[in-house]
């Protein structure tokens, strides 16, 4: 443990960083520095060694495809499924099925596949826009997780464990690196106006980390942040008078209480709140975007307008220095238990063009090399059919699968046109270059300049880490 003197200097260092308007970790440490007790003090010091190595990316955009996109209907075609279509297989995988009563036989994909780009990656017909981007991404077909149910699997991919209460990926990253823009939150979440994802607000909880590392929910329309605008009628001039009266009152209070940095931090937080009102409103103002840009994001079509808007705002946010942006879709559009030929296609129609547009836009604006884009869900799907009540094959879908799922990475420090990993011949389980959720986390941290063992928070007698007590491996094959 460092001496108390060193701790104090450390704290003061951050305060002066803020005062001079400098960037990065300022915001978080300003608020964190005043926490009491040895634990937090130790934490400051623990993470002061970050970044562990020069970062490749400044920001992350996480396109979270909650629900469980079907790997064998999107990126991982399986001839064996066509060949053995209709053959009984359930008894071999009975322990791995969520709805055994509805389990059917092996089922071929209802979609046609083609190879695309120079890399020759297979993509099915339901993702026409992404097909054109395959040479820009690294696609991983060999991910797996530990629980086949949405809730625990979502907790796992967000926070590393199957339960609520632990900080999520975005919280860890912003805790480590702070924000590049002190007028905007470091970790912004854009959920779907149609509704919250499964696990609701738990998806962006800071757990035991200080709550300023919690994701701040931005709405795509209307007031972007809770309480950002006055909820009552009052002319701005009067608000301004009240604000300056409060400030002078607070300053007098602080003046009588020397050596209480938390009072200075509090004053600062009121100023930040005022600045955030302007900065957040500006970030969400799409009136300055051209119609060509909006079209690129699919905002001219009603099916993709909503997700396209969120993708475009995501770009505007990372342009402004937001560290971690996470986009959600309402409920579970990828959870295609039934009628997969139709429901999966619809999920793609909502997201395919917006995502391809985002990638293209990042490239054309020179943001590619500083932004890490990650696409993926929390589980994959089974090679056997899940039958509808009337057993009509046309209405079949697929049940959950924890043994194989897909994800792709793009942008800063990521190889282009790289395909990694294999599943078995039926697509049931990843067998080659298997990538665990911990590996996936470690890789994202790595691109941000963080070694997964260097980022921790002492609590309950343990240095808590995103990757826990595991020894994950960074997926070096997809890195530049």
Partner 1 sequence: MRKLAVLFFTVLLHSLTGQSLPAVQEQKSAKDSIYFEDRVQPIFKRKCIGCHNATDLDGGLDLSNRRAILAGGDSGMVLPKGQQQESQDELAHQKSSLRGLLWKKIQAKEMPPEDSPPLNASELNGIQTWLETGAAFRGDAGSASVTAERIIPLLHLRCGKCHGATQQEGNLDLRTLEGVLKGGQSGPAAIAGKAAESLMIQRIDHGEMPPKKRIVPDSVKSMTDAELELLRQWVDDGFPAAPVRQLKRRFSSIDREFWAFQPPQRPRLPVVGKMSQAENPIDGFLLARLERSGLDFSHRLSRQKLIRRLSFDLRGLPPDPDEVASFMADTRSDALEHLVDRMLLSPAVGENWATLWLDAVGYADSEGGQNEDRVRPNMWRYRDYVIQAFSEDKPISQFFVEQLAGDELHDYQKPGIAMDEEVYGALVATGFLRTTPDRTFQNITNFVPDRLDVIADEIQVLGSSMLGLTVHCARCHTHKFDPLSQLDYFRMAAVLKDGFDEHDWLKPENRNLTIPVDQLSPSLPGTIRAGATEKEISIRALWSRGRPSPTFLLRRGNHLTPGPLVQPGVPEILQDPLKAPGELPWHSLSHRSPKTGRRLAFAKWLTNPDHPLTSRVFVNRIWDRLFGHGIVATLDNFGKTGAPPTHPDLLDWLSVEFVEGHWSLKQILRTMVLSHAYQQVSEVSQESKKADPDNRLYSRMPLKRMRAETVRDSILAVTGQLSNARGGPPIQVVEKENGLILASELLGGGWCRSVYVIHRRTKIPTLLDSFDYPQMGPNCVVRKNSIVPQQALHLTNNQLVQSWCQSLANEVASHPGSFDQQMELLFYRVLARGLEQNELVELKKVDSILRAQWRQHLGLESDDDVVRIRALTNICHSLINSAGFLYID
What sign does the CA torsion over 420, 426, 431, 436 have? Answer: positive
Q: How far is the CB of 6 from partner 1 (least distance, A)?
A: 10
- Of 5 and 118, the one with the shorter C-beta distance to partner 1 is 5
Q: Which residue, 267 or 286, has its beta carbon nearer to partner 1?
A: 267
Alpha-carbon span 137 to 118, nearest angstrom: 12
Residue 456 Cβ, how far from partner 1 at the closest point, in Å? 13
Q: How far is the CB of 235 from partner 1 (least distance, A)?
A: 5
Tell me how far apart the 2 most distant CA atoms of the chain are, in Å: 81
Bond into 225 cis (ω within 30): no
Backbone phi, then psi, for 474, in 5-degree steps?
-70, 135
**Alpha helices in 20-161, H assignment, sequence order:** 26-32, 38-47, 71-74, 79-83, 128-131, 150-159
Q: Which is nearer to partner 1, 219 or 301 (CB)?
A: 219
Residue 229 or 365 with smaller CB distance to partner 1? 229
- Picking from 239, 249, 324, 317, the residue whose alpha carbon sits closest to that of residue 274 is 239
- Shortest Å, Cβ 184 to partner 1: 10
Residues 6+ apart with CB under 8 A from 13: none
Residue number, 369 or 425, with CB nearest to partner 1: 425
**Given the structure tokens 């709550």, which residue do they identify?**
211
Q: Nearer Cβ to partner 1, position 102 or 355?
A: 102
Based on CB atoms, which residue is closest to partner 1, 107 or 272? 272
Cα radius of gyration (the chain)? 24
Q: How far is the CB of 261 from partner 1 (least distance, A)?
A: 10
C-alpha triplet 375, 353, 358: angle, nearest 5°: 60
How many angstroms separate the CA atoms of 283 and 186, rounded? 13
Under 8 Å between Cβ of 67 and 346: no
HEC profile of 242-270 = HHHHHHHHHHHHHHCCCCCHHHHHHHHHH
Contact 70, 381 (CB under 8 A): yes
CB nearer to partner 1: pick between 43 and 304: 43
- Select 68 or 411, whichever has its Cβ closest to partner 1: 68
CB of 418 to partner 1, least distance (A): 14
Q: What angle do CA 98, 101, 107 make, to 5 degrees?
A: 75
| Minimum distance of partner 1 from residue 195's CB (angstroms) | 11
What's the min distance (Å) between Cβ of 307 and partner 1?
19
CA-closest candidate to residue 218, choices 341, 290, 135, 309: 309
Give me the DSSP letters along 133-180: TGGGEEEEEEE--S-SSHHHHHHHHHHSSSSTTSPPHHHHHHHHH--S
Least distance from partner 1 to the Cβ atom of residue 384, Å: 13
Nearest CB to partner 1, comparing residues 46 and 431: 431
What is the nearest approach in angstroms of partner 1 to the Cβ of residue 391? 15
């Amino acid at each position: 443990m460092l001496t108390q003197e060193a701790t104090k200097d450390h704290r003061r260092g951050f305060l002066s960083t803020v005062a001079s308007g400098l960037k990065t970790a300022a915001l978080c440490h300003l608020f964190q520095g005043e926490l009491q007790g040895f634990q937090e003090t130790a934490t400051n010091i623990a993470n002061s060694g970050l970044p562990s190595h020069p970062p490749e990316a400044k920001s992350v955009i996480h396109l979270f495809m909650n629900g469980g996109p079907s790997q064998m209907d999107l990126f991982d075609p399986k001839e064996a499924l066509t060949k053995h279509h209709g053959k009984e297989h359930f008894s071999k995988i009975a322990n791995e099925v969520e709805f055994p009563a509805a389990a059917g036989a092996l089922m071929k994909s209802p979609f046609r596949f083609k190879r695309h780009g120079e890399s020759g990656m297979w993509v099915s017909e339901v993702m026409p826009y992404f097909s054109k981007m395959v040479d820009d991404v690294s696609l991983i077909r060999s991910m797996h997780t530990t629980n086949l149910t949405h809730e625990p699997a979502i907790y796992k991919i967000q926070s590393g464990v199957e339960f609520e209460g632990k900080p999520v990926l975005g919280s860890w990253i912003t805790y480590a690196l702070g924000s590049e823009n002190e007028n905007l939150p470091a970790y912004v979440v854009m959920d779907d106006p149609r509704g919250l994802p499964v696990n609701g607000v738990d998806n962006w909880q800071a757990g035991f980390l200080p709550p300023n590392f919690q994701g701040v929910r931005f709405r795509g329309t209307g007031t972007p942040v809770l309480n950002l605008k006055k909820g009552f009628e009052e002319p701005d001039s009067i608000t301004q008078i009240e604000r300056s009266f409060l400030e002078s009152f607070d300053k007098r209070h602080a003046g009588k209480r020397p050596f209480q940095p938390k009072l200075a931090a509090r004053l600062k937080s009121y100023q930040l709140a005022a600045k955030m009102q302007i900065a957040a409103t500006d970030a969400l103002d799409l009136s300055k975007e051209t119609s060509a840009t909006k079209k690129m994001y699919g905002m001219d079509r009603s099916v993709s307008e909503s997700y396209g808007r969120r993708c475009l705002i995501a770009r505007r946010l990372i342009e402004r220095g937001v560290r971690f942006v996470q986009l959600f879709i309402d409920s579970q559009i990828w959870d295609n238990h039934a009628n997969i030929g139709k429901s999966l296609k619809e999920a793609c129609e909502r997201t395919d063009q917006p995502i391809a547009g985002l990638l293209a836009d990042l490239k054309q604006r020179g943001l590619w090399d500083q932004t890490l884009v990650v696409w993926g869900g929390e589980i994959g799907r089974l090679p056997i059919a899940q039958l509808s009540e009337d057993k009509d094959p046309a209405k079949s879908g697929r049940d959950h699968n924890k043994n194989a799922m897909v994800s792709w990475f793009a942008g800063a420090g990521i190889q282009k046109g790289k395909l990694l990993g294999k599943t078995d011949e039926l697509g049931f389980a990843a067998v080659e270059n298997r990538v665990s959720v911990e590996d996936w986390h470690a890789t994202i941290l790595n691109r941000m300049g963080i070694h997964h063992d260097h980022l921790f928070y002492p609590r309950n007698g343990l240095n808590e880490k995103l990757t826990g007590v595991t020894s994950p491996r960074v997926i070096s094959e997809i890195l530049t």
